[in-house]
Amino acid sequence: MDYRDIITIEPGKRGGKPCIRHMRISVYDVLGWLASGMTQEQILRDYPELTSEDIQACLMFAADREHQLTYKQA
């Protein structure tokens, strides 16, 4: 899976934040829910429009972004 097929960025939506499949749910929303202790199952139950693949794409996006930031600083 390539997270770039799932994560979309549209300047007029959510202030240009990366979102999931053109929806108004941002990567940062999902990461925040996970960080607050929600399980993937709880997120999928509360947001049935999301899939496990969407959540995985958010994690991959965050990991890639962190990786890019680390190399830019070096």
Helix (H/G/I), strand (E/B), else coil: 6: coil
pTM over 0.75: yes
- Rounded (5°) CA angle 16-53-62: 45
Q: Is 3-73 a domain of CATH 1.10.1740.10? A: no
pLDDT by 10s per residue, the chain, length 74: 899 999 999 999 999 999 999 999 999 999 999 999 999 999 999 999 999 999 999 999 999 988 776 666 65
Question: What are the residue ranges spanned by the domains of the chain?
Answer: 3-73
CA distance 65 to 59: 10
